[in-house]
Structure 1
Amino acid sequence: MKIRLVPALLILIVMAVTIRLGFWQRDRAHQKEALQAHIEQYEHAPAQPIGAQPIPVASIEYHRVRAVGRFLPEHVVYLDNRPYRDQPGFYVVMPLALNGGGYVLVNRGWLPRNMDSRTTIAPYSTPSGDVTIEGIARANASQAFELGEGGSAAHQPIRQNIDVGAFAKETGLALQPFVIQQTSDDGDTLVRDWPVPTMGVDTNYGYMFQWWGMAAAALGFGLYAARRAAKKGN
């Protein structure tokens, strides 16, 4: 059976690429499974104290943490378009001045939007003295889709997103590079029913099988084409 070189090479290239992409998706799924196992482990670990010494995000994200300090309501930011149970609202993000120096951003919880006036913030309380905050360290205070800078312009209390580094420059505060997603209750009426982090492992496995299916289809097509070419040559 005579095999045409160029079509055979194209099929082999398609198979090599799709098989490699399948393995890449499998590896991503395994990484996410390992991360999920670590998150479950962190849930039962003692809360780590947060102080003035900067802690890299990679070494603290998803860990339980504890911080003691005083809220700075003059620097509050309300993250817009954060629905809760199909009701529009905001996340209340506020710096905490840590006892002993340094600052950390705290996502205090969810607040419903005033349906009559978008810029009118519903009442909630903020402790005036020292408070002990417990929560989960996260890389950010949640990210919502926006075009360009969108509604995240500096010095605006209502924004779409907040970048920790940019906010540190804006306020002059020496912030930790992560955000505490508060889980402890301090009687402020804010909702802290946080969504559970999803790793999307099933999606990765789905893509893995799709890529490998494409490789199998390419092989099948190549064999079919070779068989037809052989019949024509007889």
Structure 2
Amino acid sequence: MKIRFWPALLILIVVAVTMRLGFWQRDRAHQKEALNAQIVAFEHAPAQPVGVEPMPLKSIEFHRVEARGEFLPERVVYLDNRPYNDQPGFYVVMPLKLEGGGYVLVNRGWLPRNLADRTGIEPYETPKGLVDVQGIARANASQAFELGSGGSAAHKEIRQNLDIRSYAAETGLAFQPFVIQQTNNTGDKLVRDWPAPTLGVERNYGYMFQWWGMAAAAIAFGLYAACRAAKKGDARNEGDEADEADEEAENHA
């Protein structure tokens, strides 16, 4: 069976690329599984105190933390389009001025939307003076899809997302590079039923099987095309042999 060089090379390239992408998705799934195991371990580890010294995000994300300080309600930000049990609402994000110096952003919890007024904020409590905050260190206060700059023209505290560095430049406050997702109750009427971190391991495995399926399909197509070309070649050879036999018979006649 004669194999044509360029079609065979193309199929080999497709197989190599799709197999590699499949292995890459598998490795990503394994990394996320390892991270999930770390998150579970962090849940049972002692809480780390947050102070004035910067704590790198890579070393603190998903860890339990605790901080003591004073909330700054005049700097509050309401993250819009954060539903809870199919009810529209906000996340209340507020700076905490740490007792020993420095600042950290705290996602205090969920607040329902005033259905009669889109920009209306339902009442909630903010503790005065020093308060102890416990929670989980997260890279941000939650990220939602955003078109443009987001926010509300009528209520500047309402935003779609909040970037820590941008907000630090805006306010002039030196924030820790993470947000505390508060878990303890401070009697403020906010909901703290936080969703578990979504790592998407199942999606990576799904993509892995898709890429490997494409590789298998490319191999099957290559074998099918080669067999079909071989059959056509055999049929053409048989036809040529028949023509030669007829010519010989005519010559003898």
Please indicate the TM-score interval, normalised by the length of the shorter structure: over 0.9
User: For 2:63 and 2:152, how far apart are their aligned partners in 1?
Assistant: 27
- Tell me which residue corresponds to 1:55: 55
- Tell me which residue corresponds to 2:232: 232
- Tell me which residue corresponds to 2:23: 23
- Tell me which residue corresponds to 2:97: 97
- How many equivalent residue pairs? 233
TM-score (norm 1): 0.98
Once the two structures are superposed, residues 74-95 of structure 1 have per-residue CA deviations (whole angstroms, 9 ceiling, x without a partner) of 1000000000000000000000
Shift in Å, 1:152? 7.7
- Tell me which residue corresponds to 1:211: 211
State the one-letter code of the partner of 1:71: F
User: For 1:228 and 1:84, how far apart are their aligned partners in 2?
Assistant: 59
- Tell me which residue corresponds to 1:37: 37
Shift in Å, 1:148? 2.6
What SS does the corresponding residue of 2:18 show, helix, strand or coil? helix
Within 5 A, what are the aligned runs for 1:169-180?
169-180=169-180
Segments of 5+ residues of structure 2 without an aligned counterpart are: 235-253
What SS does the corresponding residue of 2:231 show, helix, strand or coil? helix
- Tell me which residue corresponds to 1:86: 86
What SS does the corresponding residue of 2:180 show, helix, strand or coil? strand
What SS does the corresponding residue of 2:207 show, helix, strand or coil? helix
State the one-letter code of the partner of 1:8: A
Within 5 A, what are the aligned runs for 1:1-234?
1-151=1-151, 156-234=156-234
Between structures 1 and 2, the one with greater helix share: 2
4+ residue segments displaced more than 2 Å: 150-153
State the one-letter code of the partner of 1:112: P
Once the two structures are superposed, residues 160-205 of structure 1 have per-residue CA deviations (whole angstroms, 9 ceiling, x without a partner) of 1100000001111010011000001000010000011121111111
Shift in Å, 1:150? 2.3
What SS does the corresponding residue of 1:156 show, helix, strand or coil? coil
Cα gap change, 1:78/1:191 in structure 2, threshold over 3 Å: closer, same or farther? same
Query: Percent identity among equivalent residues?
Result: 76
Shift in Å, 1:58? 0.9
Could you tell me whether the CA contact under 8 Å between 1:152 and 1:161 is conserved in 2? no
Segments of 5+ residues of structure 1 without an aligned counterpart are: none
Could you tell me whether the CA contact under 8 Å between 1:55 and 1:176 is conserved in 2? yes
What SS does the corresponding residue of 1:118 show, helix, strand or coil? coil
